């Protein structure tokens, strides 16, 4: 039964991707259809139109096998040896640098948000203490 549930949830995720592709084709948008589908899914989850439990197990399964999904792309690169030459080395350096920048920015943002949450908790604690002492 769990496998059927996971297959159904992956089908829901695929449906969002398909709708994104259709919107991309119909409206000739510059954003890829898969991104449009993810934004639709994000909107549905944020507005609580789609409960998280409807896609949680399927998304978790896809994340478990994510590395297997990159194998065809890596084999495809082998067909283009020019990518592995100097341009490939530059591409690797750029990828490493951009990854480091992204990790740094994500870390700084999470620290900023954590400090903000701590300040809000301290402010709430002080206001409760103040209201109790009156």
Q: Do 63 and 112 share a domain, yes or no?
A: no
Give the torsion sign (CA, 80, 82, 85, 89). Answer: negative
Cα–Cα distance for residue pair 107/110, rounded to 1 Å: 5
Q: Are residues 117 and 100 in the same domain?
A: yes
The tokens describing 128, both together, are 């409760």
- The C-alpha atoms of residue 111 and residue 124 are separated, in whole angstroms, by 20
User: Are residues 54 and 6 part of one domain?
Assistant: yes
Domain containing residue 53: 1-69
Contact 13, 62 (CB under 8 A): yes
pTM of the model: 0.62
pLDDT in tens, 20-77: 999 999 999 999 999 999 999 999 999 999 999 999 999 999 999 998 888 887 787 7
Q: Please give the pLDDT value at position 134.
A: 61
A 10 A CB-CB count for 7 gives 12
Which of 36, 69, 102 is where one domain is finished? Answer: 69
Residues 51 and 107 in one domain: no
Total of domains in the chain: 2
77 and 51: one domain?
Answer: no
Could you report the per-residue pLDDT of 74-125, keeping only the tens digit for each?
787 777 776 677 877 888 899 999 999 999 999 999 999 999 999 988 888 8
Residues 71, 60, 25: CA angle, nearest 5 degrees? 65
- Asked which of 69, 104, 119 is the last residue of a domain, the reply is 69
Question: Are residues 44 and 84 both part of a single domain?
Answer: no
What are the structure tokens assigned to 39, written together?
Answer: 């934004």
């Amino acid at each position: 039964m769990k496998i059927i549930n996971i297959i159904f949830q992956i089908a829901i995720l695929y449906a969002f991707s398909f709708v994104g592709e259709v919107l991309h084709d119909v409206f000739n948008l510059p954003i890829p259809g898969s991104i449009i589908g993810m934004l639709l899914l994000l909107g549905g989850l944020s507005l609580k139109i789609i409960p998280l439990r409807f896609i949680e197990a399927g998304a978790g399964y896809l994340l478990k096998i994510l590395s297997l999904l990159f194998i065809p792309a890596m084999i495809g690169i082998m067909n283009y040896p020019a990518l592995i030459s100097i341009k490939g080395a530059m591409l690797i350096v750029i990828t490493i640098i951009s990854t480091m920048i992204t990790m740094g920015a994500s870390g700084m943002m999470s620290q900023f948000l954590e400090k903000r949450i701590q300040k809000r908790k301290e402010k709430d604690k002080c206001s409760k203490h103040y209201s109790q002492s009156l």
